[in-house]
Amino acid sequence: MKILFLGGGNMAQAMLTGLIAQKTPPGNICVVEPLQGARDAVSQLGVDAFSSLTTNLLGCDAIVLAVKPQMMKEAIAPLADELDGQVVISIAAGVNTSTLGFWLGGGVSPYANVVRAMPNTPALIRAGITGLYAAAAVSEAGRQIANVLMGAVGKTVWFDDEAMLDAVTAVSGSGPAYVFYFIEALEQAALELGFDSDGARLFANQTFLGGAQLAVSTNESPSALRARVTSKRGTTECAIETFEKHALKQAIIEGVKAACTRSRELGRELSASSALPVGLAGGPV
Domain extents in the chain: 3-161, 175-246
Q: Cα 176 from chain centroid?
A: 11
Q: Cα 265 from chain centroid?
A: 17
Whole-number Å distance between alpha carbons of 29 and 52: 15
Check pLDDT > 60 for residue 278.
no
pLDDT in the model for residue 109: 83
> Going by C-beta distance under 8 Å and a sequence separation of 6 or more, which residues neighbour residue 225?
214, 215, 218
CATH superfamily of the 3-161 domain: NAD(P)-binding Rossmann-like Domain (3.40.50.720)
pLDDT band at 270 (very low <50, low <70, confident <90, very high): confident
Alpha-carbon distances of 71 from 66, 77, 122, 228, 231, rounded to whole Å: 10, 10, 23, 48, 52
pLDDT in the model for residue 274: 60
pLDDT above 70 coverage of the chain, percent:
95
pLDDT in the model for residue 108: 73
**Residues 156-171: tens digit of each pLDDT:** 999 999 999 999 999 9
CA angle 215, 116, 24 (to 5 degrees): 80
pLDDT in the model for residue 275: 54
pLDDT band at 282 (very low <50, low <70, confident <90, very high): very low
pLDDT band at 255 (very low <50, low <70, confident <90, very high): very high
pTM for the model: 0.87
Alpha-carbon distances of 169 from 147, 201, 247, rounded to whole Å: 18, 28, 24
Check pLDDT > 60 for residue 172.
yes
H helix and E strand count, the chain: 12, 8
Check pLDDT > 80 for residue 277.
no
Check pLDDT > 60 for residue 114.
yes
Helices of type H across 77-196: 97-104, 140-151, 164-168, 175-192
Q: Which CATH number fits domain 175-246: 1.10.3720.10, 1.10.357.10, 3.40.640.10, 1.10.3730.10?
A: 1.10.3730.10
- The candidate with the shortest Cα–Cα distance to 118, out of 97, 99, 101, is 97
**Residues 180-237: tens digit of each pLDDT:** 999 999 999 999 999 999 999 999 999 999 999 999 999 999 999 999 999 999 999 9
Whole-number Å distance between alpha carbons of 76 and 171: 28
pLDDT band at 94 (very low <50, low <70, confident <90, very high): confident
